[in-house]
Amino acid sequence: MKAYLIGKLFFAAVLCVALTACSSTPSTINPEGTNDANANSKDEEQEIHWSYSGDTGPENWSTLDTSFEICAEGKEQSPINLEKAKTSAAAEANINIDYQPGAFTVKNNGHTIQAEALTDDNTIEIDGDEYQLVQFHFHVPSEHQLEGKHLDMELHFVHKNADGQLAVLGVLMKAGEENDALAELWAQMPKEETQAAVELTDPVDLTSLLPQNKAGFHYNGSLTTPPCSEGVKWVVLAEPITVSQEQIDVFAAIFPDNHRPVQPWNDRDIYEAIAE
């Protein structure tokens, strides 16, 4: 057990150093929705406030800071409406998901409930490029639409490769049977914004947060939160997993609506994807 804890602490320290080092690379995207290139210059400034409604809501994100302008001007923004009839089967993406139970911390970052990985052994491979899981978080209702309709929630697994580029695996969620894999995370869910993260006692079984049928969609998009950085590889699975209505209500009591509206396709290619 001692060795296990030391290992987790060592990984956390290495991850912290790695993310800090990214601040010198303008092309790097921060998975928490902040440009790493601008992070140090704003350390002593008040954080730019954005939200999901009103004057600081999605329609106005681009006006809140010059680094947010791509939220309105970008041509490859996320989320989008996913339609089977508009996908291209000509270039099916090669995707491999390698998940197992892992150790996580949980925090309320003011915009969602976020679980951060303490180990680096959960990965996704897209067309031969490997990305390590950094964190996962939730939105209500779903950000992506499926055939023009929102689902109850959406889970985003955020991954980062050796070059600092992001890949997000989106899992749609609908009301149904309770999801036991989320039990402890839901029990530890902070109701107020927190700076410090709480470590979960038990590993989270990530495979239980994936549907059996892993067919879906693959496209090039963006972060769904400011600064809306593009260059994010998206994989969204079409078959939803279930969570109980009570689990949905517990999350919605903290974040009643934390989704960005769907964005234009802008003639992007959306490919069929079957993850293994």
Least confident window among 24-28, 31-35, 115-119, 206-210: 24-28
69-88: per-residue pLDDT in tens? 999 999 999 999 999 998 88
- Assign residue 46 the CATH number of its domain: 3.10.200.10
Residue 35 tokens, joined: 């440009």
Grouping H, G, I as helix, E, B as strand and the rest as coil, residue 96 is strand
183-242: per-residue pLDDT in tens? 999 999 999 998 899 999 999 999 999 999 999 999 999 999 999 999 999 999 999 999
CA dist 166 → 94, 130, 250, 271 (Å): 16, 10, 29, 18
The torsion angles phi and psi of 185, rounded to 5 degrees, stand at -60, -45
**How confident is the model at residue 31, as a pLDDT?**
67
> How many domains does the chain contain in total?
1
CA dist 91 → 34, 60, 219, 269, 274 (Å): 32, 36, 11, 10, 12
141-154: per-residue pLDDT in tens? 999 999 999 999 99
SS (H, E, C) 112-153: CEEEEECCCCCEEEECCEEEEEEEEEEECCCCCEECCECCCE
DSSP 208: G
Residues annotated as part of the active site: 111
Residue 29 tokens, joined: 């995207």
Per-residue pLDDT averaged across 44-63, rounded? 89
Whole-number Å distance between alpha carbons of 261 and 276? 29
Q: Which structural domain range is residue 191 located in?
A: 2-275
Q: How confident is the model at residue 38 (pLDDT cuts 50, 70, 90)?
A: very low
Grouping H, G, I as helix, E, B as strand and the rest as coil, residue 66 is helix
Residues β-bridged to residue 234? 168, 219
